Amino acid sequence: MAVDFKITFNAPCLPLTSLTSTPLLLPSMAKPTLRHKASPCLAHALRFLAGSFLVFLLLLTLPSFFTPINPATNLDSSNTKFDRIDPPSDASSSVNSQSHPSLPYDPPDITFYDDPKLSYSIEKRIEQWDEKRHHWLKQHPSLATGAGERVLLLSASQPAPCPNPIGDHLLLRFFKNKVDYCRIHGYDIFYNNALLHPEMFSYWAKLPVVRAAMIAHPEAEWIWWVDSDALFTDMEFKLPLDRYKNHNFVAHGWAHLIYDRKSWTALNAGVFLIRNCQWSMDFMDVWASMGPQTPNYEKWGQVLKSTIPDKQFPESDDQTGLVYLLYKEKEKWGDKIYLEGEYYFEGYWAEIVGTFDNITERYTEMEREAGELRRRHAEKVSEQYGAFREKYLRDAGSGKGGWRRPFITHFTGCQPCSGDHNQMYSGSSCWDGMLKALNFADNQVLRKYGFRHLDALNLSVSELPYDYPA
C-alpha cells in the first residue's frame, strides 16, 4: 500500500485518463485521524440522509404529490416512450454520465476539503494534489467519468464599474460570448470579479483565481483562462485536447521567438490552458513569485527588463515572467509547456478584424453548396454541424493567411473597461474592431435562434430566411 502510494506520488503529472486505471490513493494514515475528528459530522450527515430517505418514501407513497398542474407535463413524465429514448446508463458512455452527473451528491467520506490546513490562497503551498484530486474523484464516480476531458473556462474583470462609459457594456458582450461558447460545448464557466489577493492586481490577478478554481473544481482536468478582452470568433472549433495530452500548460506562442529573440511577445499569457495537477500548482508558485505581492517584485522587474530586451515597461508582468521561465528554466518546465502556433489559440485583433468580411463570404459560399451545413437544428446538437464543416475547411488553413474563422480574437492593448487604449491604435479602430468581432461571433449563435445581425456594427437583428443562404 505504502509502496503504491509512493509511486503515485512520484509520478509526474499525467492526463487523468492515463491514471484512472491505477488505484486512486490517499495516504491511508491520514484517514483515521480525520475520520475520528469528523465523526459528529458523519452522524449528522447520516441523520440527514435518514431524514431525506423518509421524506423520499413519503413522497413515493403520495403519487398525487407529483401531479403537476399542467396535464401536458404530467403526460410527459409518465410517458414510457420517454424512458426508451433516454441514452442507456452505460458507465463507459462518458457523454451520458457527463450530461447527467449526480450534481447534488457529496458522500460524507472525508476528502481534502475537510482538512482545515488546506488553503485556497496562492501564497500557501499545496502538496499531493494529484492524490487528493483523484481520491475525491473516486468518491464521486459520476464526475470521475469523463473527467480527463473536462474543461472549466475562467475569466474575470475588475470589481468596480468601468471608467469607460461603454466599458461595462463591452465586457457584458465579451462575457456573453464566452457563455455562448461554453453552452454550445458543454463546458462550465466561472467569471470572477473579486480581487482574490489584494496585492495581485491587473494581469497578476488571474493567478489566484486559477489556483482557487483548481481546488473548487477537482472534476475538471483543464482550467482554461480566457481574458475578458478576448472572445470566441469561431463558435464551432473545439480545443484539440488530444494534442496536449503530454503537456500541462498550453499558450499561444513560438519557441524560436523565446530562445532566439527573447521577446516578451513570443507568447501571450492572456489565454492559457493549465492542467489541474500538482505540476501546475508548483509552476504557479514559481510564476507568482515574480508578482507584486512579494518583496522581490521590484527586483524581478529589473531582472525581466534586462533579460528580455523588448519588454516595454519596468514592472514585472506575468507574460514576460512566463517567457523568462521558459528561457531560463527550460529543463525544469519546458517539456510540459506546449506552445500552440498552428491556429489562433488566441490572435491579435489588429491582424484579424480586417479578414472577417472575406471569411463570412467564404463560409456563405460553402453553405450555398452544402445543404448539410444549411440545415436548421437545435443548438444542443451544434457540435455535429461543426464536425460536418471540417471537410469543407481542408484548404482553409488556420492562423494567419487562412480563411478559417479565427478561434479566439484578443483585443490586446484596447482596454475595453478603462478605455485607456494603447496610443498605437485609434480608439475607433479598437471599438469598431470589437463591435465587428462581437457581431461576427454573435451571428454564429443567433443563427440557431433564427436571427442575425445584418450589419457588422449594428446591434439590430432580422430573421433568417428558411434554408439560408440557398
Binding site for ligand NAG (CB under 6 A): 354-355, 358, 458, 460
State the nearest-atom distance from the C-beta of 396 to ligand NAG, in Å: 13
Q: What is the DSSP letter of 114?
A: G
For the chain, the helix, strand and coil percentages under 3-state DSSP, each to the nearest 5 = 50, 10, 40
Task: Give the span between the Cα atoms of 461 and 310, in whole angstroms.
Answer: 44
Residue from the set 130, 221, 229, 442 that interacts with Mn ion by CB under 5 A: 229
What does the DSSP assignment read for 161-195?
PPSSTTHHHHHHHHHHHHHHHHHHHT-EEEEE-S-
For the sheet with 337-340, list strands across it: 188-192, 151-156, 222-226, 267-275, 249-253, 337-340
Cis peptide preceding 163, ω within 30 of 0: no
Please report, as a single letter, which amino acid is at residue 181.
Y
Report phi then psi at 191, rounded to 5: -110, 125
Task: Give the span between the Cα atoms of 111 and 115, in whole angstroms.
Answer: 7
Q: How many residues bind Mn ion (CB under 5 A)?
A: 3
Query: Applying CB under 5 A, does 301 fall inside the site for Mn ion?
Result: no
Q: Tell me which of ligand NAG, Mn ion, none is bound by residue 233, counting a contact when its beta carbon lies within the kind-specific cut-off of 5 to 8 angstroms.
A: none
Taking the least distance from each CB to ligand NAG, the nearer of 216 and 456 is 456
Q: Tell me which of ligand NAG, Mn ion, none is bound by residue 354, counting a contact when its beta carbon lies within the kind-specific cut-off of 5 to 8 angstroms.
A: ligand NAG
Residue from the set 219, 221, 227, 442 that interacts with Mn ion by CB under 5 A: 227
Task: Give the span between the Cα atoms of 335 and 409, in whole angstroms.
Answer: 27
Taking the least distance from each CB to Mn ion, the nearer of 8 and 320 is 320
Taking the least distance from each CB to Mn ion, the nearer of 208 and 347 is 347
Report phi then psi at 411, rounded to 5: -90, 60
State the nearest-atom distance from the C-beta of 203 to Mn ion, in Å: 8
Q: Which stretch binds Mn ion (CB under 5 A): 86-94, 263-271, 386-394, 445-453?
A: 263-271
Residue showing cell 469543407: 392
What does the DSSP assignment read for 256-267?
HHHHTT--TTSE
State the nearest-atom distance from the C-beta of 411 to Mn ion, in Å: 7
State the nearest-atom distance from the C-beta of 426 to ligand NAG, in Å: 19
Query: Applying CB under 5 A, does 236 fall inside the site for Mn ion?
Result: no
Closest residue by beta carbon to Mn ion: 227
Q: Tell me which of ligand NAG, Mn ion, none is bound by residue 358, counting a contact when its beta carbon lies within the kind-specific cut-off of 5 to 8 angstroms.
A: ligand NAG
Taking the least distance from each CB to Mn ion, the nearer of 436 and 453 is 436
Taking the least distance from each CB to Mn ion, the nearer of 270 and 291 is 270
State the nearest-atom distance from the C-beta of 76 to ligand NAG, in Å: 40
Q: Which stretch binds Mn ion (CB under 5 A): 29-37, 96-104, 206-214, 265-273?
A: 265-273
Report phi then psi at 79, rounded to 5: -75, 120
State the nearest-atom distance from the C-beta of 227 to Mn ion, in Å: 3
Q: Are 287 and 336 in contact (CB under 8 A)?
A: no
Find the DSSP H helices in 263-417: 278-288, 297-307, 318-328, 330-333, 349-352, 356-369, 371-374, 382-389
State the nearest-atom distance from the C-beta of 349 to ligand NAG, in Å: 14
Residue from the set 167, 270, 301, 321 that interacts with Mn ion by CB under 5 A: 270
- Report the residue count for the chain: 470
Residue showing cell 447527467: 100
Taking the least distance from each CB to ligand NAG, the nearer of 423 and 460 is 460
Q: Tell me which of ligand NAG, Mn ion, none is bound by residue 121, counting a contact when its beta carbon lies within the kind-specific cut-off of 5 to 8 angstroms.
A: none
Tell me the three state secondary structure of residue 311.
Answer: coil
State the nearest-atom distance from the C-beta of 454 to ligand NAG, in Å: 7
Q: Tell me which of Mn ion, ligand NAG, none is bound by residue 229, counting a contact when its beta carbon lies within the kind-specific cut-off of 5 to 8 angstroms.
A: Mn ion
The residues near 314 (Cβ < 8 Å, ≥ 6 apart) are 301, 302, 305
State the nearest-atom distance from the C-beta of 165 to ligand NAG, in Å: 16
CB-count burial class (<10 Å; 0-12, 13-18, 19+) for 356: buried
Which residues of the shown chain bind Mn ion in the complex (CB under 5 A)? 227, 229, 270
